[in-house]
Structure 1
Amino acid sequence: MIRSIRNASRGLVRELGFLEPTLAGTDLAPSAVHALIEIEAHPAITAGMLCTLLSLEKSSVSRLVRKLVDAGEVKEESSNGDGRTKCLSLTAKGQGTVAAIHAFATSQVAAALSRLQVTDREAVLAGLRTYTNALHAGRTDTGRIDRPAVTIESGYRSGMIGRSTEMHAAFYRRVGFGAYFEAQVAAGLAAFVQRLDKPVNGLWSAVESGRIVGSVAIDGEDLGAGLAHLRWFIVDEGQRGGGTGRRLLSEALSFCDRTGFTETHLWTFKGLDAARHLYEANGFALVDEQPGRQWGEEVTEQRFVRKAA
């Protein structure tokens, strides 16, 4: 994991152009580009504040500011008549340079994002934020980084079919499920979302920083009157053990209780002990177990049933 992250980090640095002597289509060094952006973003910023934002030594920032002033990009003004404190701001030339930097960077990022699915774009943003915060915490010794809050959202969400299918495929390939299984999940879920207007059907997503990290559905039609079918219950690998699965299942079962189902059924297979423990903790009991191949590979299929209280 560590080696892979380091390799990815080096690749990112190269692709963004940080190994070049200049950056973002300018004739400026990377540190100067970052300084101009921070000066634009923070009116009346001082050199001391710039040191903190850029994580650079005072002497380095002093030389950097002097070069930008000499180049006509930045101007220094006394703060409220105090000659000892200088506030930095962009000159007209500096404003033009920063506008060009933003245009270059926006074009660069937009071109990369255009090659990604919407859910992948959200994953990139969440991952970069989390990793950057973790690096900062490590450098400043501020402790562990709290994960972004996970919300449970009801109903169809854009990208949900593909994302749920992706999570299922990633989890179940460890037991040999392949293309047939993935196609069955995608087709079944795609058909189901067309029936969400029926009051006996429900769908929930766990969402972290705009990215779907879990799903579950209650199909109130396919087993007959009064029977609920719990389907497509999956949680992303990074969420397992953190309570997201319990929250999703709780939402689904609360819906079953409100709707008045007499029983809730689910099908799984032998060997998924953590999932079985969760089911049994929520009132499900194993009622049937036999060999089957409904997912393309032979496994010991299990049916659990939860009866209404």
Structure 2
Amino acid sequence: MESNNKPNSTALKFRTHRPGDMGYITYRHAVIYDQDHALPAFFERDVSRIAADFLDTYDATLERCWVAEKDEKFLGSVALVKHKELRDTAMIRLLLVEREARGLGLGTQMVQKSIDFAREAGYKRIRLWTLTQLTSARRLYTNAGFEILRTEPQDAWGGMPKEEWELTL
């Protein structure tokens, strides 16, 4: 009889970020996206900038980073941050679900946490960027009500189109 090593979804807990989390989130993004999608090496640099910007400008009344875990083991993350240019707009960043936690609805729960918090914080809309090849993420965003605003070719990403999505709250 084969054992299932997937965590039980009822045992999952969410907490806000604490010291060390942003470095670990950056590390896990680099490893997972390299293994799963062979993204270019500069992806890690870009994620580290997002994490550093979050820490540099963090506003607890308007922003959050959640870490999903079971028994203190990291299973995923998501951040909701202020848009740099649009005052009434938030952005979903750093969404990641570890392989062992996929299929449990963790991504859906984290996106919903972001949407709920954005509403409470008074945002009018949420935007995010993703790549067309990230089909699971795109399905998650579609199911949450996000719509594609624009698609842009990205030469630096080996021609993979980058998409900007938006949800009006």
What TM-score results when the alignment is normalised by the length of structure 2?
Answer: 0.86
How large is the Cα RMSD of the aligned pairs? 2.3
2: CA distance between counterparts of 1:288 and 1:150? 34
- Does 1:169 find its partner at 2:30? yes
Q: Compute the displacement of 1:250 (Å).
A: 1.0
**Aligned residue in 2 for 1:232:** 94
**Aligned residue in 2 for 1:219:** 81
- Does the 8 Å contact 2:5/2:100 carry over to 1? no
- Does the 8 Å contact 1:228/1:264 carry over to 2? yes
What SS does the aligned partner of 2:161 have?
A: strand
1: CA distance between counterparts of 2:117 and 2:134? 25
Q: Compute the displacement of 1:293 (Å).
A: 4.4
Render the CA deviation track for 1:126-184: whole Å, top value 9, x for unaligned. Answer: xxxxxxxxxxxx6xxxx867835110112x22331222112211232243323311122
Q: Compute the displacement of 1:231 (Å).
A: 0.7
Match of 2:12 among 150, 153, 162: 150
What TM-score results when the alignment is normalised by the length of structure 1?
Answer: 0.49
Q: More helix per residue: 1 or 2?
A: 1
1: CA distance between counterparts of 2:127 and 2:93? 9
Cα gap change, 1:145/1:186 in structure 2, threshold over 3 Å: closer, same or farther? closer
What SS does the aligned partner of 2:95 have?
A: strand
Render the CA deviation track for 1:51-84: whole Å, top value 9, x for unaligned. Answer: xxxxxxxxxxxxxxxxxxxxxxxxxxxxxxxxxx
- Does 1:207 find its partner at 2:48? no
Matched to 2:51, the amino acid is L
- Does the 8 Å contact 1:167/1:235 carry over to 2? no
Question: Max radius of gyration: which structure?
Answer: 1
Match of 1:195 among 30, 33, 57: 57
More deviation, 185-194/199-208 = 185-194
**Aligned residue in 2 for 1:108:** none
Q: Which runs of 5+ in 2 are unaligned?
A: none
Q: Which runs of 5+ in 1 are unaligned?
A: 1-137
1: CA distance between counterparts of 2:85 and 2:55? 17
- Does 1:298 find its partner at 2:159? yes
- Does the 8 Å contact 1:163/1:212 carry over to 2? no
* Number of aligned positions between the proteins: 166
